Structures are given as C-alpha cells and as structure tokens.
Structure 1
Amino acid sequence: MGQKTNPIGLRLGIIKGWDSNWYGGKNFAPKLIEDDKIRKYLHARLAKAGISKIIIERTLKLVTVNIFTARPGIIIGKGGQEVDRLKEELKKVTKKEIQINISEIKRPELDAVIVANTIARQIEGRISYRRAIKTAIASTMRIGAEGIKVLISGRLGGAEMARSEMYKEGRTPLHTLRADIDYTLTEAHTTYGRIGIKVWICKGEIYGKPELVPTIGIGSKSKQAGPRGKAPRKRR
C-alpha cells in the first residue's frame, strides 16, 4: 500500500497537515475551487521564486495565504512593493481581503518540490538527466537527509522508446507512517516530449503528536476544522 499511494496523503492527520485550513459547510465546493485558482495563479505568477507549497486559511472576511519559498526576496520586492501588488491581484480573484505571509525555506535541498523543479529546469536546459539527478541526490544527502529516491520516465536522452529509471540513496521507508517523507511529481517539457519526475525525500522519523494545523490568522473555531467541510470529532 505504501508503495502505491501518495506518501503525503497517506500521512494526513498523522504527521502531515492540510494545505487548506477552513470550515466550508455548504459553500465547500466554491471555496475549494477558489483555493485552486489562487494556487495556480501564484505558481504561474511566481514561477522563478522557488515556491514549495501554499497553505490557505480562511475566516469570515479574510483569506490568509502562507507562501513557503526558497527565494522570498523575489516575492517581497523592493520595499515590499511586489507583495502589495500581489495582494491587489488576489483581491480581484477572491473578492475578499487578502493577507500574505511569506516563510523562507532554510534548506531547499530537503524540499522535494524544489529538488524536482531544479532537476526539471536542468533537463529543459539540455543538461544530462543523469548528471542533474546525481547532483541533486548528492546535495540532498550532504545537507542531512536520511534518504532520497528519484524516478524519471519518458524519452530519456531523446530515445525512440520511453523508459523509466530510478536512482536512490539511503532509506525511504514508505510503509512507516511516522517517517517524514516529502514527495512530489513534476514534468520537464523538452523538444522530444514530456519527462515525468518523481522525488521522495526522507527527513527522519517524527515521534509524538506534531502540530498539524497552522495557527496563523485563524480564529479559534477555524482551528478545529479540516478542509473537508466538517470539523473532525474529538477522540476520547
């Protein structure tokens, strides 16, 4: 089971939290669609900012967008001008007040999204896929990861027939639910087709009960609500 499913989805509510934290009720579907629009817009608008993930929180009148990035300077801009411009643009999308919080990723080599995007950009720049992957693996292990696995599929090197290759180092225990596994899937667009890239990074194991829901900009009622539209029951 652990080998086939998304490692982040498998660990939701155990050691991983949700990317959307709000209580929707009957308006769940429109809010979910709005969250998707916000994420797509930000990823397109800030393609060079090294965005890892976007966590969206909602109160009655406020939408809080938490952006985790490796290059916060690109988003903030000179004197915070870019952030103010971004707020105005998102207001047009949501028709609500927007608050933007930017968090810097101190060690981007341990972030699966950033590692996968780095490999994809290098392949699009005509660098050998083997060289790009081995460089990424070496950097990740040097920073302190317990393990990394990279699966690449497609017409590798412009070959006539598509194939898959896997590169790994260290341990990535997908069945161990307390293992802190970061995962992503991305694509490199080349002249001979699309190349799929999957990255798993094991950062260690988490013991105890971690804080799953961020508390930035959320009211006391919203803290208890998951993104599925109903507040979870308290365990006895």
Structure 2
Amino acid sequence: MGQKINPIGFRLGINRTWDSRWFADNAEYGQLLHEDLKIRAYLMSELKQAGIAKVVIERPHKKCRVTIHSARPGLIIGKKGADIEKLRKAISTMTSSETHLNIVEVRKPEIDATLVGQSIAQQLERRVAFRRAMKRAVQSAMRLGAEGIKITCAGRLGGAEIARTEWYREGRVPLHTLRADIDYGTAEATTAFGICGIKVWIFKGEILEHDPMASERRGLEGDAQGPASRERNDRGGRRERENA
C-alpha cells in the first residue's frame, strides 16, 4: 500500500497535517471548499514564477487567512508591498470572509518536492535533457541534507514515439514507514511532443513523536537557522540566495 498511496495523505494525522485547516457545517462546507479550490487555482496560475511550494488556508471566525510558502517571496510582495496588496484584494473577491495574506519563505527549495518537480518541468519545457535535469535535482537534494530522493518522469521523453517512464533514486525512501518524513510533489511539463508528468519523493529523516504538525514545524525550525525572518505578514523583503 505504501508504494501506491499518496505519501502525504498516508501520514495525515501522524506527522503531517492538512493544507486546509477549518471546520464547517453541512450548509457551508461545499461553498468553502469551492472557495479554497478557486484561491489555489488562481495563486498557482498568477504566481508561476514565484516558486509556490504550498498554500495553507485557515478560517478563524469570519476570516480567511491564506499562507503562501514561496521560494521567491520578493516576486509576490513587489516594490514596497504593492503586489501583495493587489493579490489580497483579488483573493478577497473570491471569498465572503475578511482576507489576510501571509508569505513564508522556503529557504531550501532544493529539498521541497513540489519545487523540485516544478524545476524539472521548466527544464523539460526548455528542452534540457531529462536525465541531466533529474540527476542535477538528485545531487542538489542530497547535498543539502536529504536522506533519500526518488524522481520519475513519464511521457514522450526526448521526443520518443512511444511514451515511457524513467526514474532515478539515491539514498533511502521508505514509503511504508509511517514515522518517515517524506515530502511528495507532482508537476507537469507541457512540451512540443505532449505532456510529461513528474513525481518527486524526498525522505528527510524520521519523526518519532506522534504530532500532525511535526513535519511543518521541523521545516520551519530548519529554515530559522538562516539570518533572515522566514515569515513576513504583508511586508516587503527579498530572498537571499544561498551559494551552495
């Protein structure tokens, strides 16, 4: 089962938690769910170049708090916070609640599965050889502290007539070990020959305590080792590139 199921869904309530964190009665549930889907689709389409790792939506009493985890927060915030205010107004039109927008910087995009998948997809669209893109991503992840990584690319790779699946793995990726902190992400590359699908699994170590927030807290603690604050609430700021 661990080989087939989504690794994040498999670990929900154990060491992972949901990206939509709210409760609603039956009358409101459908409306709020569609609002979440609209907000996520809008952010993913508008902020393609900002490296969006995930979008967390919380709904305290009559409010909607949207937290965007991004590798390049400067592109979202804009000059003197102008772009983030436009974004907040656009999101507020999609929901009936008062909207608050937070930006959290992802300090190590090389070990975030979603961002790794997006990076490989962009390289395939630029006609970079798929083996080179996969190998480069694996080497970067292992160098920055991942204990294991697996990447699969499927489709008409290299313009081949017949679609196939290629994969590359290094280190351990124990998918059936529930205490394993495994990040999972997918991406699509739209090439001249059709769509190629990319899947990425990254093993970051084991979490022994039973805590749904453990994986997220661990990531923030790791990010906090850098000199700058990781979370910015409607303020400006640019990402400092690490020369690894």
TM-score norm. by structure 1 comes to 0.88
- Kindly state the Cα deviation for residue 64 of structure 1 after the two structures are TM-superposed: 0.1
Counterpart in 2 of 1:64? Answer: 65
Structure 1 segments unaligned to the other structure (5+ residues): 215-236
Counterpart in 2 of 1:206? Answer: 207
Aligned letter for 1:111? D
2:127 paired with 1:146? no
- Kindly state the Cα deviation for residue 211 of structure 1 after the two structures are TM-superposed: 5.2
List per-residue Cα deviations over 1:44-64 (Å, max 9, x = no partner): 111110000000000232100
- Kindly state the Cα deviation for residue 95 of structure 1 after the two structures are TM-superposed: 3.1
2:17 paired with 1:8? no
Counterpart in 1 of 2:135? Answer: 134
Counterpart in 1 of 2:188? Answer: 187
Q: Does the Cα contact within 8 Å between 2:155 and 2:163 map onto a contact in 1? A: yes
The 1-side partners of 2:210 and 2:100 are apart by 29
Identity of aligned residues (%): 53
Q: Does the Cα contact within 8 Å between 2:14 and 2:212 map onto a contact in 1? A: no
The 2-side partners of 1:180 and 1:77 are apart by 34
- SS of equivalent to 1:208: coil
The 2-side partners of 1:30 and 1:95 are apart by 10
List per-residue Cα deviations over 1:155-213 (Å, max 9, x = no partner): 11001111111100000000000100001121100000111111000000011133529
Q: Does the Cα contact within 8 Å between 1:63 and 1:96 map onto a contact in 2? A: yes
Q: Does the Cα contact within 8 Å between 2:13 and 2:212 map onto a contact in 1? A: no
The 2-side partners of 1:177 and 1:119 are apart by 27
Counterpart in 2 of 1:91? Answer: 92
TM-score norm. by structure 2 comes to 0.85
List per-residue Cα deviations over 1:21-68 (Å, max 9, x = no partner): 111112111111110100000111111100000000002321000110
2:158 paired with 1:157? yes
Q: Does the Cα contact within 8 Å between 2:13 and 2:211 map onto a contact in 1? A: no
The 2-side partners of 1:72 and 1:211 are apart by 26
The 1-side partners of 2:97 and 2:23 are apart by 16
List per-residue Cα deviations over 1:197-234 (Å, max 9, x = no partner): 110000000111335298xxxxxxxxxxxxxxxxxxxx
- SS of equivalent to 2:41: helix
List per-residue Cα deviations over 1:117-143 (Å, max 9, x = no partner): 000000000110111110000000000
The 2-side partners of 1:209 and 1:174 are apart by 17
The 1-side partners of 2:91 and 2:148 are apart by 38
The 1-side partners of 2:123 and 2:55 are apart by 24
Counterpart in 2 of 1:122? Answer: 123
The 2-side partners of 1:119 and 1:185 are apart by 10
- SS of equivalent to 1:86: helix
Q: Does the Cα contact within 8 Å between 1:18 and 1:212 map onto a contact in 2? A: no
Counterpart in 2 of 1:18? Answer: 18
Counterpart in 2 of 1:168? Answer: 169
Counterpart in 1 of 2:52? Answer: 51
Q: Does the Cα contact within 8 Å between 1:155 and 1:161 map onto a contact in 2? A: yes
Counterpart in 2 of 1:30? Answer: 31
Q: Does the Cα contact within 8 Å between 1:65 and 1:99 map onto a contact in 2? A: yes
2:103 paired with 1:102? yes
Structure 2 segments unaligned to the other structure (5+ residues): 217-244
Deviant stretches of 4+, over 4 Å: none
Q: Does the Cα contact within 8 Å between 1:141 and 1:147 map onto a contact in 2? A: yes
